[in-house]
Amino acid sequence: MKLVILDRDGVINEDSESYIKSPDEWHPIPGSLEAISNLNQHGFRVIVATNQSGVGRGLFEMSALNEIHARMHRAVASVGGKIDAVFFCPHTPEDNCPCRKPKPGMFDEISARFGIDLSAVPTIGDTRRDLEAGQAAGCSLMLVRTGKGRRTIEAGALPSGTVVFDDLAHAATAIVAAVGGN
């Protein structure tokens, strides 16, 4: 099974310092939906792993998060793509839960749910914590410059082996090219 794990905010959709709290605030980054479709067309299952501490902070309810994800699924489907599953952590950093990135709990759950070793599975994020979670799971690390990506690069000290791309579209093209487009 070919799998790609994506962060949501800053990779698929525009990020916001005040959180994405409603479907109306969810706006795809240009080219990201088509990138997911491109991955699907080349046999990749696309999984989203996202911290959503706005729920734990009381900024929005689970029903709003579900509506945001429904909008995301519809948007991806409108260009012929599909997100196979969304894993999320609703906890705040103070909760110290094992699923909140940079801890690898969501990645462990993805591995168990799909029955796949995540060694070398591409994971694409825009923050160091995205990369650290993927690194702990053995993933191939990719950072995009969208979202918080530029700030992450400026902060330096990316995990070893991290490959940087302008955006999800460029990362998806590289992933497809690496497997020969099959």
Place of tokens 């995990």: 159
> What's CA 127's distance to the chain center, in Å?
10
Strand-strand pairing, 44-51 and 85-89: parallel
Tell me the C-alpha distance between 10 and 100, whole Å: 17
Confirm whether 130 is a catalytic residue.
no
**Residue 23, both tokens:** 């479907």
Amino acid at 91: H
Tell me the C-alpha distance between 182 and 180, whole Å: 5
Using alpha carbons, select from 177, 158, 11, 164 the residue that is nearest to residue 83: 11
Confirm whether 166 is a catalytic residue.
no
Beta strand extents in 94-133 (DSSP E only) = 122-125
Termini Cα distance of the chain = 12
Question: Of 9, 15, 130, 167, which residue is the catalytic one?
Answer: 9
Amino acid at 150: R
Active-site annotation, residues? 7, 9
